[in-house]
Structure 1
């Protein structure tokens, strides 16, 4: 089994080693196994390191069947001796997030009584899942405040290998160990004692800061999204840019943005209501115009219309307006759009025709789908027939269905 140097010194980012195995995994990816490595493989909620080996990019690192596989970009390395370099920025970022999680987990459990069930270190945000159904704003603020206090006191972070199982009895571990040998624990004196194989800084002060961004419910758990260290500054810069832009667009100082946004939303709601009112009136007027062009069809009247690039809800509202204000009426509307064609058909209750049968008869001709009630149907398909031809087929089907 490869000896993992990252366990011994998270700050070791350059190393020499030897290739002991080369291979190709089931997905066709080239990998090598080294006698010793400083690359951290994905595990324990923490992503893998990246970097280079003899100048080739390391794009993934996994522990498979007891060996640490380094997946390389391009062909595997021919030389036996290698020089490895870890991407320090990525490594230190992961160290900050992982150590921050230890503190946050300790605070939630010791101060609030909520145990952490899982941890995930993401590309931009990290999360822990707490064993609780609810979490109040006051509890979030308390957890964040206590965690940052622990960061400021700059406690040392130690790692220790346990050879004698009885030695574990001297530590109050936060959770049960996942292994029974090669046990490594992370110690933050008087704060956290935990079995962990991840990378961490030398002290809590190097975490710099922690910010809880938001929470979300996950079945019987609460998921807490947070960032540490340099990610806090990135989040601050991102949000500051957004606030500055909004402040400029609304011609409002930052302190008054919430008032300006509320006023903007109220104005928008008023305008939307006005648009809806005017649209309804326009639909009513259009329905009257179409009814004047109604054609006799057996014992009923038929309103037909072909449109270009009208939204489906316009067709629906138009058909509903026609059949709710008239009697003995059938409505067929067809609308051609860029890559599809729409159909809406409706009838008044005094007309004995099942429009579902009509629609199902023509849909195969346009490779379409649709359905509805016997008195109101809608559907759509590929734009493979001219609108006028599709309308003609609809009317012929209505005639044959009603006869």
Structure 2
């Protein structure tokens, strides 16, 4: 850009008018204009320098961000490796016993959670120092013993909802699949997949129970956590719709990724904490807090943040002892359950050639059609029975018939029709040699007792069943049903 472009068009016109020979003159700015031009150049230079500085700072920030991401990834990988190894813990065998190929040991310290408070125990392995041997941990239990002042580290874990008693201490016992001598050093490796699943279920239960308590004022009076189900018992009624609302709120809490706090507060502070507990506790009490949701005394392992639960799904509700029992699944268990449900719905959708949302309508339609067919079949069967009874010689005293396919109602109707025309024992056997036979035997004669027939069938043919003098029913298996019929006749 030439210097002439800095001048206004008016200035240029005035300057050109004053020159004698425009072909020989040079256009030069005044001092003020030159100063103005210099300032403009300096401003442009500063702006350029500022842009370069901003660019450098941005590059520095991006580099720092990459380094931080790299550190976080390395931390995650390290945590993943630690998790995969089950957080191995070195311990020594202090006691050992065995009975009928079952081996029980006690460690000087342990990271294995014992079965207690409605929750199953951890599993895993004990690895020997030489790395050549290992023992499977089949079960872990806890038992209280009188305190002798020699408690081992880890031995004071107790199952009383987070309480460590003053006069007793808890002994953790490990059931293993092989004998391990006292004094052996081992590495305890927890099955973390199983542990983490239990953590998801248990923290999920705290969230659900906390919400039930805050909304209805009900207590969780029963809790069971196994490998297949999680149940909570509440001492008050809750409707299906209310359960759905609690479930939705519980998942909101999970997705908020709240911190789960575990602590042993001082006794003076503990007195002012409104925590849930099934009984009065003293001494050191472990409190598990989910801010704004639940405060509960608990000794079990929990997730660090609610987001680790992932998902909570209610899978069952039933009335129980004046209250309700709720069945839930959390985390991977919930996903597995929903995947299975999805497979079922998808298969039904294919069978009925309809969209998933229309499957229920299609099933109801099929069920109604089936009921109508059953009614028609029942009416046809009844007509056939009546026709068959009319053809039987009424001079016969005892009548016994063998049928392949008759339901209980049809069998009973047939016996009633027969006893109206015959004075002896009238019976019907329905079934086959392969599947066995169901039978009904009746009489209208007050001088006869059908229980005699039942006793005879039980004694001679191993039948099961019973009844009254007028009618007995039961079942039996036989390769010679004709022999059974002849015995009655």
Give the structure-1-normalised TM-score: 0.82
Conserved in 1, the CA contact under 8 Å of 2:94 and 2:183?
no
Paired position in structure 2 for 1:42: 115
Which stretch has the larger CA shift, 338-347 or 137-146? Answer: 338-347
**1:238-268 per-position Cα deviation (integer Å, ceiling 9, x unaligned):** 1100100110111111111121111111111
Give the 3-state SS of the residue equivalent to 1:186 in structure 2. strand
Conserved in 2, the CA contact under 8 Å of 1:104 and 1:144?
yes
Would you tell me which structure has more helix in proportion to its own residues?
2
Paired position in structure 2 for 1:59: 138
Distance 1:173 1:343 in 2: 61
- Indicate how the Cα distance of structure 1 residues 10 and 218 shifts in structure 2: closer, same or farther if over 3 A, else same: farther
**1:57-115 per-position Cα deviation (integer Å, ceiling 9, x unaligned):** 21111012321111112434677000111111111111111111111111111123222
- Alignment match of 2:413 (pick from 304, 317, 324): 317
Conserved in 2, the CA contact under 8 Å of 1:342 and 1:379?
yes
Q: Identify unmatched segments of 5+ residues in structure 2.
A: 1-81, 128-133, 145-169
Matches within 5 A, 1:72-91: 72-76=176-180, 80-91=184-195
Give the 3-state SS of the residue equivalent to 1:37 in structure 2. coil
Give the structure-2-normalised TM-score: 0.69
Distance 1:266 1:176 in 2: 49
Are residues 1:13 and 2:13 paired? no
Which stretch has the larger CA shift, 301-310 or 92-101? Answer: 301-310
- Indicate how the Cα distance of structure 1 residues 343 and 90 shifts in structure 2: closer, same or farther if over 3 A, else same: closer
Distance 1:188 1:370 in 2: 58
Distance 2:307 2:87 in 1: 21
Conserved in 1, the CA contact under 8 Å of 2:211 and 2:294?
no
Paired position in structure 2 for 1:214: 316
Distance 1:243 1:167 in 2: 53
Conserved in 1, the CA contact under 8 Å of 2:258 and 2:291?
yes
Paired position in structure 2 for 1:252: 354
- Indicate how the Cα distance of structure 1 residues 47 and 274 shifts in structure 2: closer, same or farther if over 3 A, else same: same
Would you tell me which structure has more strand in proportion to its own residues?
1
1:187, distance to aligned residue in structure 2 (A): 2.3
- Structure of greater Rg: 2
Conserved in 2, the CA contact under 8 Å of 1:112 and 1:139?
no
Distance 1:185 1:97 in 2: 18
Which stretch has the larger CA shift, 243-252 or 374-383? Answer: 374-383
1:302, distance to aligned residue in structure 2 (A): 2.3
Conserved in 2, the CA contact under 8 Å of 1:129 and 1:221?
yes
1:35, distance to aligned residue in structure 2 (A): 0.9
- Indicate how the Cα distance of structure 1 residues 117 and 352 shifts in structure 2: closer, same or farther if over 3 A, else same: closer
Paired position in structure 1 for 2:68: none
- Alignment match of 2:225 (pick from 118, 121, 124): 121
- Indicate how the Cα distance of structure 1 residues 287 and 106 shifts in structure 2: closer, same or farther if over 3 A, else same: same
- Alignment match of 2:212 (pick from 83, 108, 113): 108
Distance 1:155 1:189 in 2: 7
Paired position in structure 1 for 2:106: 33
- Indicate how the Cα distance of structure 1 residues 96 and 390 shifts in structure 2: closer, same or farther if over 3 A, else same: closer
Are residues 1:394 and 2:468 paired? no
Conserved in 1, the CA contact under 8 Å of 2:397 and 2:422?
no
Give the 3-state SS of the residue equivalent to 1:307 in structure 2. strand
Give the 3-state SS of the residue equivalent to 1:276 in structure 2. helix
Matches within 5 A, 1:317-396: 317-324=413-420, 326=421, 328=423, 330-333=425-428, 337-338=433-434, 344-348=440-444, 352-360=447-455, 363-381=458-476, 383=478, 386-395=480-489
Q: Identify unmatched segments of 5+ residues in structure 1.
A: 1-8, 396-403
Alignment: residue pair count: 374
1:334, distance to aligned residue in structure 2 (A): 5.7
Which stretch has the larger CA shift, 111-120 or 239-248? Answer: 111-120
Conserved in 2, the CA contact under 8 Å of 1:10 and 1:201?
no
Distance 1:198 1:340 in 2: 52
Paired position in structure 2 for 1:4: none
Distance 2:452 2:175 in 1: 59
**1:1-35 per-position Cα deviation (integer Å, ceiling 9, x unaligned):** xxxxxxxx99973211111111236x763111111
Distance 1:333 1:255 in 2: 46
- Indicate how the Cα distance of structure 1 residues 28 and 345 shifts in structure 2: closer, same or farther if over 3 A, else same: same
